[in-house]
Structure 1
């Protein structure tokens, strides 16, 4: 018997606004689609939180014994500024600014995204399709929507007729918005006049002469609408109806609402049984934004090369920090919060080291079976990682009592304790022990303190040649020295 047959997993479904018992369409198998990154810049920490949240979902479903097909796309075309139907493609704009081919931009930031996800110990998806690799499928989807009477051509662009669709369907079923309100509150946009209604959205955009990324279609040269990409790729690999669709809370409207409309207009089916949305990550109580400077990139977090934190933090500590909040809750990132998370993470890893040296003795004085089920109950309650972590720290307390000889366990219960701690910490939460890295960090800090001391002595002796040589050699190695009022510090770039 598989674990999923013994557990009652409930998922909060944005569509119903309630927690629902998870029943997959096919016994023992799960199809899950998550909207991936638009690769025109370095992935930021808020995006990482979304992908780490769904990595937790992926890991737990696999842990329960489900065969999971996890599809997460790469958006490498057609995502317009401010998610509107008019404006400049984000990737094309970046390519123009940096004087590169769009696919150079795509490659550069796709590689960066994969490297960051690997550092966070996130498992790769089963399939990672790209929008540019599925132009044919998107054109075929548009043809079907046209044939079913829900699309129209205007000046070389194809738009989805939201009002026509809403006559027999519910546009707003996911977000809870009312179409009449949307139409009355819509502001006039550039190019709005070619749409029948302000709420209509692009399925295919005509490419102006200066537009770099373009493909031939029955309606002329152009490029696909952003919403269309996910509809075509999700249904190609998961079918017209699948189990879970996830993404950030900001995608609920219009992106996911439009996906539902496109699917129903194309196939007649509601595409997804369970819609899941991860909440945002704020920084020092404010929204993360590059424009305001209230932003930190993952590599800046790992290297300590930033002005927001007192030191560098490892990817596992950052991942643990994110797991301490439920995926549907807003999480605020601050120096104090991640320092506290590091202490908790270290306690957990120290307990695992201690556990490896504990032996069975006598009868069991702890109810390990009941504690183990509490761990499952937490994850079965809409993947409640903070409650799981609280139970794992109860396990840490057990380990310390066993170490002190104040409690005892039989061999079978000790094995169960060990296996449960290992499964949830490493397999489900996806944490890694970085004890070796911490030791290396201590050694590096010792060496750096010695070099900084030597440099200070050289400066005091007015041996500026040696002082500059130390700084320059460290710079070549990717280590930057910062001289301040309180002394010299270093950061790794």
Structure 2
């Protein structure tokens, strides 16, 4: 049974055939680390985690790269504005690299709690400046880029296929507002920055043939993807909002530099809404994961995300999450009951369930259908176990194998039964959250009462236990060291 993937480039489902037999090269745009991870991050990275898990389950060796953007992403996602990390560093009055490191640790902490496997390689933009400089130099040499006053721009008119992913022409890019700004030193308004001149006082800067500066946002992904995966890669993933300008620019600069196709299968996940409205900081409905995890177990959030297809919008509401929690508890109860069942003489034919699960995952990673099949299997298991004859050992083994393969390993929504103390790992996390919130409250009251000795004692003892507390304008935050 073949795997079919919806290719955003050609806008159709295509049979997946990797460039190298048995090996899949996969690159997914990672976060810009200037704040805590939010529900939009969870939607994207849970989705692509399942993609990687299913490919590995199907027998492929997957080389998965996910970058960390720690320089160069400007506030309007184009060539104007301020570096997002530099702006956050100014707000918190600390070094930009401290901002990047702190929020990188925070990001991985949240992803770990969601059961997301770490990528094979997680390169940073700041760690690959020479690679980006080399890419930019190649583009200048081939006539696809030009330097003006210490800035280097890619000439979109030099690449005739610019717009093939997003469907935008260079003329439409010229006329569009917001993300593509007219700048007098550009030859064309849609030309995008490969290298930015550092203004006086800019901390994150490097020497280059064009003077002191830093790379544009788009250059890093091309440079790092091609360094670790080759000039042509199998799968490139990211959020739908990255189609333009980011992924469009990636294609242009990569293919202009190599003369080869950059990506064979483009995958884009849809956005998150909150009660039907697009999620955003400016709208006041922005939800970060640390806040969500105070109310809902991370596995419930993962289950909630996978109940919708990765290409479908995800609408967050308290009612929807509560419904997901109830459904997951039922599925988890069956999984626990199945592993504790004593052998009987009854049987279940599991082949149809396995075929339906495989068919769902091979149909562009259709997790909602796969979850529905698991519920059908759970219903059959519950009925059989409750019957006087029970299930024989062979049927139990086959059912356990399906739940483990698809529920635990591929979808990551089922957890091992309770430990010998009767407490799941997730309950441990919830208990830790409760204790930490209590300690933060006690420390806050101590500081308000000028009892700095107690305040410092709480902070220092937690640090010894591997937990870091950080005081911000929004309040006190904590993370594992």
Q: Tell me if both proteins adopt one fold, taking TM over 0.5 as the criterion.
A: yes
Residue in 1 that maps onto 2:350: 368
Q: 1:74 aligns with which of 68, 74, 90?
A: 68
* Cα deviation, residue 409, structure 1: 5.0
Q: Which entry has the higher C-alpha Rg, 1 or 2?
A: 1
Q: Is structure 2 residue 108 aligned with structure 1 residue 96?
A: no
Question: For residue 245 of structure 2, what is the aligned residue in structure 1?
Answer: 254
Contact 1:31 1:244 in 2 (8 A): yes
Provide TM-score, normalisation by structure 2: 0.86
Using a 3 Å threshold, how does the CA distance of structure 1 residues 354 and 16 change in structure 2: closer, same or farther?
same
Task: Tell me, in whole angstroms, the C-alpha distance in 1 between the residues paired with 2:179 and 2:313.
Answer: 32
- TM-score after normalising by structure 1: 0.84
Give the Å deviation of 1:354.
1.1
Structure-1 residue corresponding to 2:320 = 337
Between the aligned partners of 2:91 and 2:458, the Cα distance in structure 1 is 30
Question: Could you tell me which residue of structure 1 aligns to residue 395 of structure 2?
Answer: 413
Equivalence for 2:376? 394
**SS in structure 2 of the partner of residue 43 of structure 1:** coil
| 8 Å contact kept, 1:186–1:198 | no
Partners of 1:185 and 1:380 lie apart in 2 by 38
Say which SS state the counterpart of residue 376 (structure 2) adopts.
Answer: helix
SS at match of 1:395: helix
The structure 2 residue matched to 1:213, chosen from 204, 211, 229, is: 204
User: Number of residue pairs matched?
Assistant: 438
Conserved 8 A contact 1:402-1:408:
yes
Task: Please give the per-residue CA displacement for 1:313-347, whole angstroms capped at 9, x wherever unaligned.
Answer: 10001110111000000010101100000011100
Cα deviation, 1:432-485, whole Å, max 9, x if unaligned, reads 4385249968x97xx99xx9xxxxxxxxxxxxxxxx9xxxx9xx999xxxxxxx
* Distance across 2 between alignment mates of 1:254 and 1:360: 58
What is aligned with 1:325?
Answer: 308
- Give the superposition deviation at 1:262: 0.6
What value does the CA root-mean-square deviation take over the aligned residues? 2.7
Give the superposition deviation at 1:357. 2.8
* Aligned match for 2:213, one of 217, 222, 225: 222
Using the TM superposition, name which of 244-253 and 205-214 deviates more. 205-214
- 1:372 to 1:111, Cα distance in 2 relative to 1, 3 A: same
Unaligned runs of 5+ in 2: 439-448, 460-476
Structure 2 vs 1, CA of residues 215 and 413 (structure 1 numbering), >3 Å: closer, same or farther? same
Out of 40, 46, 65, the position equivalent to 2:40 is: 46
The match for 1:134 is 128
Distance 1:191 1:151, change over 3 A: same
Query: What is the correspondence of 1:55-204 to structure 2 with a 5 Å cutoff?
Result: 55-166=49-160, 170-185=161-176, 192-204=183-195
CA distance in 2, matches of 1:407, 1:50: 45
Q: Contact 2:236/2:266 (CA < 8 Å) preserved in 1?
A: yes
Task: Give the whole-Å Cα distance in 2 for the aligned partners of 1:269 and 1:82.
Answer: 30
Q: CA–CA distance in 2 between the matches of 1:290 and 1:363?
A: 55
* Deviation of the 1:363 alpha carbon: 6.0
Structure 1, unmatched stretches of 5+, are 1-6, 304-311, 452-467, 479-491
Change (3 A) 1:260 1:188: closer
Contact 1:358 1:402 in 2 (8 A): no
